[in-house]
Structure 1
Amino acid sequence: MWARTLVRYLAAKSDADHYYRELQREQDEIDTVPDTEAAEIADILSEYGLGPEEYGPVVTSLRNNPKAWLEFMMK
């Protein structure tokens, strides 16, 4: 029983550690290469059939809201 509990704890901790490393990596990229990250958003949205005139305002809005930008990049 204790072994299973320990395994679950370690798995959850590993998942959380991975998430926070990815969060920090995305934040670092937003801070250091914002144009590249904005282009990544444009690429994602264009895969859904949106053109520049449609995804442009979304990219601009996300760039103006850093918290939302980071949340978008984490999804």
Structure 2
Amino acid sequence: MATVVVISVEDQDGLWVVDLDANTVVPLPAPKSGDLKVVTDLRATGTILTKGVNIAVVVKSAEAAFSGHYDG
């Protein structure tokens, strides 16, 4: 099973790589080619793409998430 996820957040620039095994989140340099370049180009037009993710929600803070709240 994959333990790395590439994410972006609406109204923010850039992509992030989340490594669940290493407990890290790092910025991903803007892709210049390949599938991630296609995805970032689509994202720029407002397209939302998900693959292999069964939940993704925005929360105001980590505290809110740990207390069971999200911006739904």
Same-fold status (TM-score > 0.5): no
TM value normalised by structure 1: 0.24
Of Structure 1 and Structure 2, which has the larger fraction of its residues in strand? 2
Query: Computing the radius of gyration over CA atoms, which structure comes out larger, 1 or 2?
Result: 1
TM value normalised by structure 2: 0.25
Of Structure 1 and Structure 2, which has the larger fraction of its residues in helix? 1
